[in-house]
Structure 1
Amino acid sequence: MEAGIVGLPNVGKSTLFNALTESKSAASENYPFCTIEPNEGVITVPDDRLDKITTYITPQKVIPAVVKLVDIAGIVKGASEGEGLGNKFLSHIRAVDAILQVVRCFEDPDVIHVSGQVDPMADIETIEMELMLADIESLQSAQQKAGKTARSGNKEAIERLAVIDKCLAHLESETPLRKLELTEPEEKCIRSFGLMTLKPLLYVANVSEDDVEGTSELATKVREYAAGVGAGFVAVCASIESELAEVPAEDRGEMLDAYGLKEPALNVLAREAYRTLGLQSYFTAGEKEVRAWTVPVGTAAPQAAGVIHTDFEKTFIRVNVFTLDDLVEHGSENEIKNAGKLRVEGKAYIVQDGDICHFLCN
């Protein structure tokens, strides 16, 4: 699964992406449409639980979870009608599983704004409207196809048409689909359409160096809006994070202290992106490695085992499970077992975030 970084031109998308992936590209210049083809990168998801596990189990290596990010070109008003190569850029958004929308929440006369003034709520409205218009176009096309098939009495087409009509009515009230209640069968009917306003959303407020916690009036408006629409929110100063990315890890502490940060804001962003994608981690721990494995929330044990190796899902027998708290209390897996805290779970078990698992397969 992957998340796409979107926003208007010159809001700091590529700066954030480069800092996250600790990369540089020609896309950091101060002009619109500097990103044409989407850049892709894989980032680690910081998780202090890995460090705590290695206090009790010493491995040869530690492997954290990762998440894939895609830096998508800036969207402008009229993108749904092809403005600014809009159709091409919108197709990139359709391909991702979640949207990270970067919103500019700082004033700087040296960094131009595509609309001439810094107004994060207007920026949010522009992008939301373009995505809704593009979704309407996609659904209207699907409506025509489903309608022809439905007239022949095809039951599946009739059901699909009903969901399409429901979604179109919602969008035409200028409300994104993520605020529409759909049943699981209804979602399945339209899953292949890549509807953008149905995707989970995280707002990333790009703030100034003197507002690292995002308490300014501009950032507060975005925070409150995000809470109202059920979206996530993270405040990040792209310029600070860009500098931090160029400093050796062992030397970052002093710079973080200077800005009053406990950790890079990009660590928080990585974890929130992971959560927005609906992902969680379980761990395996042994002498060879301590590793975080990524699964969607709600994954059953056999499917979780299949992430390690596809054969493990087919040959799954059971899983031994304990928690980090168990490990802290008892010190080892053997002692956890002796204390009667080692759980033995079967195929119906839903793996929980933070479970430490030992799968038994045939």
Structure 2
Amino acid sequence: MEAGIVGLPNVGKSTLFNALTCSQAAQSENYPFCTIEPNEGIVSVPDPRLDRITKYIVPKKTIPAILKLVDIAGIVKGASEGEGLGNKFLSHIRQVDAIIQVVRCFEDPDVIHVSGQVDPIADIEIIETELMLADIQTLENAIGKAEKTARSGDKDAKVRVEVIKKCNEHLAADQPLRTLELNEIERAAVSSYGLMTAKSILYVANVGENDLEGKDPLVTKVREYADKAGASVVCVCAKLESELAELDEADRAEMLSEVGLDEPALHSIARGAYKTLGLESYFTAGEKEVRAWTIPAGATAPQAAGVIHTDFERGFIRCEVYTLEDLEEHKTEKDIRQAGKLRVEGKSYVMKDGDICHFLFNV
């Protein structure tokens, strides 16, 4: 699964993407559409639980979960009608699983805002409107074919027609589709359309170097907007994070200490994106490696095993599970087993975030 980073031109999203992926790409000039094709990058998801596990199970290597990010070029008002580079960029958003919208929450006369003034809520609404208009267009294009197929007696097409109408009514009320309740069958009926406002969203408030805690009134407005939308907000100073990304570990730690941060704010973005995508981690731990594996929330034990290898899911027998708290209390897997804390779970077991597992399988 992957998340797409979107925003108006010059809000700092490409700076943020480069910092997240430790990109050494040359700095672009300060003008819209400097990212012509979407850039892709893989980032690790920092997880302090890995450090806690390796205190007791010392591996040759530690492997965190990873997340794929796509930097999508700046969207402008009228994109759904072809303004700027228009639908070309909107099509890139259709392909991602969640959206990270960067909004500018700092003043800087040297960085031109495409709208002439810094107003993060207006920025959010411009992009939301463009995505809703594009979704309306997609659904209007789809309903004719769906109705024709439905008239032939196709039951799936009949469901699709009703869901399209339901979605269009919601969009006509100026509401994004992520706020529309659909059951599993209804979601499946329109899943192939890549409806953009149905995707989960994370807002990133790009703040100035003098407001790392995000106390500026502009950030407060973003938080209030996100609360109403059921979304999360992460504050980050893209300029500072870009500088931190270029430092070695020792210098980075010194700089973080100087500005009063415990860790780069980018870590919060990676974790926030992970959560926005509906993902969680389980761990495998041994002398060879301690590793975080990515699964969708609600995955069963066989599905989780299949992330390691399809044979593990196909030949799943059982899963041996313990918790990080068990490890910290008993120190070794042997002692966890002797204490009766090593659980044996079957095919119906729903994984819990942070489970430490061994899978038994036979093919």
Same fold (TM over 0.5): yes
Provide the rounded CA distance (Å) in 2 between the counterparts of 1:185 and 1:167: 14
Q: Work out whether residues 14 and 28 of structure 1, in 8 Å CA contact, stay in contact via their aligned partners in 2.
A: no
Q: Which amino acid aligns with 2:327?
A: L
Aligned to 1:279: 279
Q: Which moved more, 1:245-254 or 1:199-208?
A: 245-254
Provide the rounded CA distance (Å) in 2 between the counterparts of 1:12 and 1:95: 22
Determine if the alignment matches structure 1 residue 202 to structure 2 residue 202. yes
Q: Work out whether residues 202 and 273 of structure 1, in 8 Å CA contact, stay in contact via their aligned partners in 2.
A: yes
Aligned to 2:302: 302
Local SS of the residue matching 2:85: helix
Aligned to 1:262: 262
Local SS of the residue matching 1:223: helix
Aligned to 2:8: 8
Q: Work out whether residues 80 and 86 of structure 1, in 8 Å CA contact, stay in contact via their aligned partners in 2.
A: yes
- CA deviations over 1:310-352 (Å, ceiling 9, x no partner): 1110011000000000000001111011111110000000111
Determine if the alignment matches structure 1 residue 141 to structure 2 residue 141. yes
Give 1:126 shift: 0.3
Local SS of the residue matching 2:209: coil
Aligned to 2:337: 337
Give 1:227 shift: 1.0
Q: Work out whether residues 5 and 101 of structure 1, in 8 Å CA contact, stay in contact via their aligned partners in 2.
A: yes
Q: Work out whether residues 3 and 100 of structure 1, in 8 Å CA contact, stay in contact via their aligned partners in 2.
A: yes
Q: Which amino acid aligns with 1:253?
A: A
Provide the rounded CA distance (Å) in 1 between the counterparts of 2:297 and 2:249: 31
Aligned to 1:29: 29
Q: Which moved more, 1:19-28 or 1:218-227?
A: 19-28
Local SS of the residue matching 1:293: strand
Determine if the alignment matches structure 1 residue 44 to structure 2 residue 44. yes
Q: Which amino acid aligns with 1:214?
A: G
- CA deviations over 1:191-242 (Å, ceiling 9, x no partner): 1110000000000000000111111000110011111101111000001100
Q: Which moved more, 1:166-175 or 1:256-265?
A: 256-265
Q: Which amino acid aligns with 1:359?
A: F
Aligned to 1:157: 157
Aligned to 1:227: 227
Aligned to 2:251: 251
Aligned to 1:355: 355
Give 1:179 shift: 0.7
Determine if the alignment matches structure 1 residue 238 to structure 2 residue 238. yes
Local SS of the residue matching 1:83: coil
Give 1:26 shift: 4.2
Give 1:15 shift: 0.2
Give 1:149 shift: 1.3
Provide the rounded CA distance (Å) in 2 between the counterparts of 1:359 and 1:112: 55
Which segments of 5 or more consecutive residues in structure 1 lack a partner in the other structure?
Answer: none
Give 1:29 shift: 2.4
Instruction: Kindly report which structure 2 residues correspond to 1:65-104, keeping only aligned pairs within 5 A, or say none.
Output: 65-104=65-104
Q: Which amino acid aligns with 1:91?
A: S
Give 1:152 shift: 2.2
Q: Work out whether residues 177 and 198 of structure 1, in 8 Å CA contact, stay in contact via their aligned partners in 2.
A: yes
Local SS of the residue matching 1:344: strand
Local SS of the residue matching 1:228: helix
Aligned to 1:60: 60
Give 1:24 shift: 2.6
Q: Which amino acid aligns with 1:346?
A: G
Provide the rounded CA distance (Å) in 2 between the counterparts of 1:52 and 1:152: 60
- CA deviations over 1:22-77 (Å, ceiling 9, x no partner): 11324632110000100000000001111110100011110010000000000000
Q: Which amino acid aligns with 1:206?
A: N
Q: Work out whether residues 14 and 27 of structure 1, in 8 Å CA contact, stay in contact via their aligned partners in 2.
A: no
- Percentage identity across paired residues of the two chains: 71
Provide the rounded CA distance (Å) in 2 between the counterparts of 1:27 and 1:220: 30
Q: Which amino acid aligns with 2:307?
A: V
Give 1:283 shift: 0.3
Provide the rounded CA distance (Å) in 2 between the counterparts of 1:246 and 1:325: 36
Local SS of the residue matching 1:153: coil
Local SS of the residue matching 1:274: helix
Structure 1 residues 241, 35: CA separation in 2 closer, same or farther (over 3 Å shift)? same
Aligned to 1:177: 177
* Paired residue total: 362
Q: Which amino acid aligns with 2:102?
A: V
Provide the rounded CA distance (Å) in 1 between the counterparts of 2:219 and 2:258: 21
Provide the rounded CA distance (Å) in 2 between the counterparts of 1:285 and 1:250: 28
Q: Work out whether residues 27 and 34 of structure 1, in 8 Å CA contact, stay in contact via their aligned partners in 2.
A: no
Local SS of the residue matching 2:205: strand
Aligned to 1:190: 190
Q: Which amino acid aligns with 1:29?
A: E
Q: Which amino acid aligns with 1:331?
A: K
Provide the rounded CA distance (Å) in 1 between the counterparts of 2:286 and 2:137: 52
Q: Which amino acid aligns with 1:305?
A: A
TM-score (norm 2): 0.99
Provide the rounded CA distance (Å) in 1 between the counterparts of 2:155 and 2:329: 57
Give 1:282 shift: 0.3
Provide the rounded CA distance (Å) in 2 between the counterparts of 1:80 and 1:311: 44
Q: Which amino acid aligns with 1:103?
A: V
Provide the rounded CA distance (Å) in 1 between the counterparts of 2:158 and 2:252: 59
Q: Which moved more, 1:297-306 or 1:252-261?
A: 252-261
